[in-house]
Amino acid sequence: MWIDKYNATPPMEFEKLMYDADMEDQVRDEISRLLERKRSGVEMGLDMKINCINSFIESKLDYFEKKSSDYNPKDKPSADYLDNVFIQILKL
């Protein structure tokens, strides 16, 4: 979602990603609860599915699956071009 929105590498901080993401407050609250449980150090094991999180994930998977179906691998730059760009970046 970050890459789609900003066309940039996402930050490593999960909270920054979560608070920037377009999601309902209920989903954000449930994720926050899970993070708190995880940080408490208590072994969580298997747990019941949280429907709002599951629905959110499924909707994002559907979105990106549809978006990626428009991708034509023949439209990508050649390996030689990408190699040259990489070499130029290293020379900076």
Residue carrying the six token digits 């929105």: 5
Contact yes or no for 45/19 (Cβ under 8 A) = no
Please report the pLDDT score of residue 82 as a whole number: 92
pLDDT band at residue 25 under the 50/70/90 scheme: very high
Contact 22, 29 (CB under 8 A): no
CA-CA-CA-CA torsion sign (19, 57, 34, 8): negative
pLDDT tens-digit series, residues 26-77: 999 999 999 898 888 877 778 889 999 999 999 999 999 998 888 888 888 8
How far apart, in Å, are the Cα atoms of 6 and each of 17, 21, 25, 51, 65? 12, 11, 22, 28, 19
